[in-house]
């Protein structure tokens, strides 16, 4: 059975269950509007919108804090959701990293930790990426994600948005 909130570590990152006490530190990591400029919810850096995002993350019971092990600071979040034992699948998403961590190895390492852990329990990992989110689309291709088409994705606090659905079925190296 897949644990949706495992503790996963490597030399650079620690992933652990997101806690209510993480709100201010995660808000600080999310407060840069450039993080969200190509995202389906581009106003997520605003506190009133971020509060809804954080509540949904906590309610999901699959949200993880991403921690830089060198500084012990929260640098973003990701989550497992839509776990289906019957279909042997889970979705990874709602991921963001502070801009300081873009363009290097952090996103790849994050995805490697999450994908390789989940593939011990399921056959397919899916990712929902907004149609206009070209940065995340390129990142998915870099790690070997296969675009399977478009799907309407909804969140509790916003209208549904069309997203590409990528899949990965083999461990990341």
Supply the CATH number for residue 91's domain.
3.40.630.30
pTM: 0.94
Rounded distance between C-alpha atoms, residue 83 and residue 85, angstroms: 6
Rounded distance between C-alpha atoms, residue 121 and residue 113, angstroms: 14
Q: Name the domain count of the chain.
A: 1
Give residue for tokens 């006490």: 21
Residue 164 resides in a domain: yes
Residue 29 resides in a domain: yes
pLDDT in tens, 60-79: 999 999 999 999 999 999 99
Domain extent, residue 160, equals 8-168
pLDDT in tens, 92-116: 999 999 999 998 899 999 999 999 9
pLDDT in tens, 143-165: 999 999 999 988 777 788 899 99
Strands 89-97 and 124-130: parallel
Residue 7's pLDDT is 98
* 153 Cβ contact list (under 8 Å, min separation 6): 40, 128, 160, 161, 162, 163
């Amino acid at each position: 059975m897949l644990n949706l909130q495992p503790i996963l570590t490597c030399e650079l990152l620690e992933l652990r269950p997101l806690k209510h006490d993480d709100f201010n530190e995660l808000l600080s990591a999310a407060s840069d509007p450039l993080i969200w400029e190509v995202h389906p919810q581009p106003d997520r850096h605003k506190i009133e919108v971020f509060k809804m995002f954080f509540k949904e993350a906590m309610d999901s019971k699959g949200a993880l804090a991403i921690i830089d092990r060198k500084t012990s600071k929260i640098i973003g979040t990701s989550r497992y959701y839509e776990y289906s034992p019957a279909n042997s699948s889970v979705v990874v998403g709602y991921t963001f990293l502070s801009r300081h961590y873009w363009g290097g190895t952090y996103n790849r390492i994050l995805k490697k930790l999450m994908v390789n852990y989940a593939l011990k329990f399921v056959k397919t990992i899916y990712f929902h990426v907004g149609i206009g989110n070209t940065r995340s689309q390129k990142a998915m291709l870099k790690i070997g994600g296969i675009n399977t088409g478009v799907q309407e994705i909804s969140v509790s606090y916003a209208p549904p948005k069309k997203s590409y659905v990528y899949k990965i079925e083999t461990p990341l190296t």
